[in-house]
Chain A
């Protein structure tokens, strides 16, 4: 029999404090005399529902968890609006700011967390708010009533919810996010891209990689912000939602052990056995949590301990959902990959769905779902249980209904179970029986099925189904189809090029999503290829992706075996002059180049330049009128010439002049592979035009045009394409041929293998069957040249992309000298 009840004091009337009390009451309602101190003058409400309140989708009353009557029924003394000033551990009392003293036998600290305020000028201006409690929401709602511009600093969960709320209330919202991807802690690049697209389509402006320098004010009120890069954005309200930190002030002051949060053991007990702590203010096994699910688990452990039935809290695995209406997004566990991790990726472009599961040792350790989150809870459950999933791995990505369906766990059973009239390919309306008939009639590969009955020939999302039908019908005798672009996709280079145009795909993440890439961010084979294909398809629109370029193209110089670089300026048609030669000689001395060599393409190559010195070398060469020779690029390289009619006894035409003209017209153009040209002034062919990608041999009656030559590993002599009479025709044919190659070849195919694969007849047909073809192709080439004939060296020499050439910092071990 207890004579007097123990006194339990709770600091914090939030979700954790009240939940802890609720849990204790369900275990032993009569044990404690309970007092709760709250800083906010309100009853206990559901803080995570503030976003819907801001968005106008819920009212405050709807998010109250425990109303006044709950406190009364349970004899809980609530001191609302009375912040605690300090804890006196010796006297075992809690003292409020207003002087109220409350003795305790057991104390629970549930002070939660404080929003992080970035230490920048202007952060104290009127109109700068955080997003933490109902006061903040009321501030935002009041600001939104006047309309105007809102800036939300922070593209995390909280920031995006604030941004959504403000847009719904009619403000024009700009989200400023420091990191390159929205919600980078919960989402990978692919899902982040989908989210960004969705938010932008709803009218928000998203600035990523944006570092706020200062908040600008006018008459004490916020007027806008300035970013580190000088960008300015105006605003009538600035919401800072960059993160939270555990509120540990009271605990620290009382001498309780704290690191980032208040340190607690598995029973939520602090370094003082009479004091427990719970919620966002604590640090448990090194982790602090900012989400609600772990809090419930902590409260259970705390209540078990407080009622003498200790169980212990092992820590939480957390999951996240974005509370923005119409956007389905789920993330749980660790999806950042790493050693021993396997990714299963599914992209369904038509439905805007992206799913990625990360497995390690046949166990699910992370999941990102975008667009379709129906299976989120099931995945989360698998993740927490750490179950061995090897028996359902095949069907795992298709969700619970599929993977758990007994025999259905084998995808081929699922396909076998489909009725004959079931639709396999939605794009082309092809039924199962049509596909099976097509296979039985001899289409024994994916490609054959695609060409004969069109199944899987459009978006490709039914490729897996068609492959299952193939193996089902043929019993494992499936012929391997043409080579796919790389192991990240089931499409071939040709498919990818065609679909980029058909579906108007304009960014790498978009291609990967629409074409169902099976890796989150591709590989070193597909990224450069996609970058080229997009640039070729959309010359005026596509923004080059540096991180998808091989080092030579990224640094506009050739990497050599010792990690230094070589630099080749352009000599148009192989011609140079004293000024250029002097500039090269000076650069060689000034930058300590170790060798200068005449190349096979009639130019000078400067060897041994350090990455840091490249911009300075280019600046010096530019000053003498030299531009980049693209000797590093999958691009137009050289136009080799002989001296032709101007000097040579045998020269029939001005081959040097034509070479110069050709090079002026074509330099700077990106190609599937390197591209070399030559012009010889007579059939003696001193410029070796018959082993070039495009060669001209001048004859008395005009110009012979040769294509598809290669002097490399596998020497190939050109095929004669045609003969033309004038220099203008020779030029026009050259541009048309180049454009045909650019638009059709696979990335890293030189003209020789391309021509052998397609056949000379095919190439001739493309160029000559329609009398308009030559001029149309040449016109497309000229159009794209508008955008690519900028000297890349000049931009870099002027300071563009300095980060590519400079070190992060330099480390000198000063401590050695001190010691």
Chain B
């Protein structure tokens, strides 16, 4: 895991490992599990893998447009803002993500808050 120890961005592998309309998970030791989404339109997003309602694993929901429907109670969550859509209220923290040269990168401090000792509070939890 040497790639996890340098740079502002964390390389989590090639774009092709997540097909369009699907999502995969990234467990973080001492942190929240992250879900990385690839929409049918080719956009990538990363969110903490928990629905604000009853903590359902959003990574397992059906993805449509820029939203995912939680597999537990069908709340629709915006992949871009993490906000629940429609009548529901609640928000899931988002993780900044970028693509470069066919690979997916997540903002390290949002993934692993421990890397930033001067900011003890968890960026992922407080975002």
Contacts and interface: CB of A to CB of B under 8 A. Distances in A.
A551 B60 contact: yes
B1 A209 contact: no
A388 interface: no
B27 interface: yes
A337 B43 contact: yes
Nearest to B21: A547
Contacts, number: 151
A439 B33 CA distance: 58
B25 to A, nearest CB: 5
A555 B60 contact: yes
B111 to A, nearest CB: 6
Interface stretch (A194-202, A522-530, A579-587, A740-748): A522-530
A811 B4 contact: yes
A550 B102 contact: no
A309 B16 CA distance: 49
B28 to A, nearest CB: 4
Report the contact-size class of chain B (Cβ under 8 Å from the partner): 35 or more
A552 B115 CA distance: 37
Interface string A689-709: 000000000000000000000
B60 A554 contact: yes
B70 to A, nearest CB: 10
Contacts of A611: 60
Contact of A209 (B16, B41, B65): B16
Contact of B25 (A336, A550, A807): A807
Interface string B9-21: 0101111111111
Contacts of A523: 64-65, 69
A519 interface: yes
Interface in A784-819: 803, 807-816, 818-819
Nearest to A188: B41
B120 interface: no
Contact of B72 (A181, A339, A547, A559): A559
B80 A811 contact: no
A199 to B, nearest CB: 18
Contacts of A180: 19-20, 42
Nearest to A522: B64
Nearest to B14: A211
Contacts of A520: 40-41, 65
Nearest to B50: A563
Contacts of A189: 20, 40-42
A209 B65 CA distance: 20
A808 B13 contact: yes
B10 to A, nearest CB: 7
A546 interface: yes
Contacts of A818: 5
Nearest to A184: B42
A351 interface: no
B96 interface: no
A338 B80 contact: yes
Given A813-B29, A814-B1, A527 B12 contact: no
A521 interface: yes
Interface string B36-79: 10011111000000000011110011111110010110101010
Given A521-B65, A807-B27, A815 B5 contact: yes
A549 B63 CA distance: 10
A807 B112 contact: no
Contacts of A335: 41
Contacts of B27: 807, 810-811
B42 A336 contact: yes
Contact of A336 (B13, B16, B43): B43
A218 interface: no
B27 to A, nearest CB: 5
Contact of A813 (B4, B42, B54, B62): B4
Contacts of B65: 337, 343, 519-521, 523
Nearest to B51: A563
Interface in A318-375: 335-339, 341, 343
Nearest to B19: A180
Contacts of A559: 56-57, 60, 71-72
A430 B20 CA distance: 41
Most buried by B among A184, A554, A563: A563
Most buried by B among A335, A521, A813, A814: A813
Nearest to A356: B41
A803 B41 contact: no
Contacts of B20: 180-181, 189, 547
A561 interface: yes
16 contacts: A189-B42, A336-B41, A337-B66, A338-B66, A521-B40, A521-B41, A521-B64, A547-B40, A551-B60, A555-B60, A561-B72, A811-B26, A813-B4, A813-B112, A814-B4, A819-B117
Interface of A: 178-181, 184-185, 188-189, 209, 211, 335-339, 341, 343, 519-524, 527-528, 546-552, 554-555, 559, 561, 563, 611, 803, 807-816, 818-819
Interface of B: 1, 4-5, 10, 12-22, 24-31, 36, 39-43, 54-57, 60-66, 69, 71-72, 74, 76, 78, 80-81, 102, 111-112, 114-115, 117
Given A803-B19, A811-B1, A812-B29, 16 more contacts: A180-B19, A188-B40, A189-B41, A209-B16, A335-B41, A336-B42, A339-B81, A521-B40, A524-B69, A547-B19, A547-B63, A554-B60, A808-B17, A808-B18, A810-B26, A813-B31
Closest 3 CB pairs of A and B: A547-B21, A524-B69, A521-B40
